[in-house]
Amino acid sequence: MGRPYATELLELDETYKWCVRTPISGLARSVAGCADQPLIAVGSGGSLTSAHFAGFLHTSLTGQASQVFTPYELVTTSQQLTRSTVLVCSAGGSNPDILLATEFLIKRAPRNLFAVIIKNRTALQIQMESAGWPRCHAYSTPTKKDGFLATNSLLATIVLLTRRL
C-alpha cells in the first residue's frame, strides 16, 4: 500500500513551507485568465478533492459557475466546452484516466486548458506540452511520493491554488 500514513503526516509541515515559498506566477496567470468564465475541474482519486476545492474557490470568488468531473464523466459529457476553462488536477500525472481525459480535452479545445501536477516530467506534462497550447504547471514537492492517501500532494495542490488569491 505504500508508505505508512504516520510518515506522510510528519511531512505536512515541510510540504506547507515549500508551498508558500514556491513561485506560482504561471499558475496565477492561468487562474486569473478564467475569472470571467465557467470552470470545469477534473480529477481522479485524491485529486478529485483538489478539483472540488478549485471549483469551490472559483465560484466563491468569481461568481462564475463551476463543475467537477471525474475523467469518465468528462469524456461522456455532451456539454459544450468552447466557452469554459478546464483545470486538470493530478498528483502524479500518470493516471491513465487523466491522460485519456486530457487527450479528449485537447481534441475538444475548451477556451482554456491548464493542469496542476505535483510532480515534474510526467506523462501528463509531456502530453500537454506536445499539444502546444495547454498550460501545465508542474511542481515537485520536497517530500517522497504519497502512499494510498494523497496527503502531501493534496495539501500542496490546495495551498498552491489558494495562494493565487
Extents of the domains making up the chain: 37-163
Please report the pLDDT score of residue 147 as a whole number.
64
Mean pLDDT calculated for residue range 49-57 = 97
Distance from the Cα of residue 75 to its chain's centroid: 17
pLDDT digits over 70-103, tens only? Answer: 999 999 999 999 999 999 999 989 999 999 999 9
Question: How far is Cα 148 from Cα 6, in angstroms, rounded to an integer?
Answer: 12
Give φ, ψ of 86 to 5 degrees.
Answer: -120, 130
Q: pLDDT at residue 131 above 70?
A: yes
Mean pLDDT of 128-139: 96
Q: Is residue 117 helix, strand or coil?
A: strand
pTM over 0.85: yes
Please say whether the structural domain 37-163 has been given the CATH code 3.40.640.10: no
DSSP per-residue string spanning 80-116: --TT-EEEEEESSS--HHHHHHHHHHHHH--SEEEEE
> Residue 73's pLDDT is what?
97
> pLDDT tens for residues 5-52?
888 888 999 999 999 999 999 999 999 999 999 999 999 988 999 999
